[in-house]
Amino acid sequence: MMKPLIIYIALAIASAGFAPDARADWSEASVAYKCDPAGNLFALHGVVQANDEFFIPKKPGYSVISDEEPSSLHCNIGKARITAIIEVSPPREKGMCASQALYSIRKLEVNGKEIMGYQLFNNICSFSGSSLFGVEISTKGKNINIKTCAGKWDWKPEYDDSKCESKIISLDKQ
C-alpha cells in the first residue's frame, strides 16, 4: 500500500516542474492624464500593469491619478478651460473583478459646458466588449477637437479592436 503512494507523490512532485505555462495572472488598470498648454492638449489614457511583459505603459509626460479617491483635473489650453472629474471605486472584497479599482469619467467640460457625461474608463474587466480608454482634447484657433478611443485589453501591449472617433466643436457656439 505504501509503495504506490510514494510513487504517486514522487510523480506529482516531478511533474510540477514541467508546467511552463502555469502562472498566476494579475492585472491592474489605471488612468493617466496630461495637461500640455504649450502643445494645446489635454488627454486621458488607460494604463495597465500586469504580471508579465504585456502591459499598457504610462506615456511620457503623463501622470497617473489616485486609485483611491476621485480626481478633479483642470487644464487651460488655448481659449479652452478643460475640467474632468474622474471617479474611482477602489478594489472590493467581493464581486466580479473585485481586485480592480474601477474608473469612470463623471464629467468632462470645456468652458463650463459638459461635452461628456458619465462613462466607464479603461474597464479591462468588461465582458461586454470594448471600453473607452483614451480621450484627447486639442485646440486650434476657435475650434476644439475631441478624439475618443475605445477597445478591449486582452493581455497584449495594446488594445484590441480599437476604434477612434473625432468631433470638432466651435468655441463660438458654446
Report pLDDT digits (tens) over 48-92.
Answer: 887 765 577 888 999 998 877 788 999 999 889 999 999 988 766
Report pLDDT digits (tens) over 80-90.
Answer: 999 999 998 87
Pairwise CA distance, residues 10 & 68, whole Å: 47
Pairwise CA distance, residues 76 & 36, whole Å: 8
81, 111 in Cβ contact below 8 A? Answer: yes
Cβ contacts of 91-96, under 8 Å, gap ≥ 24: 96/125
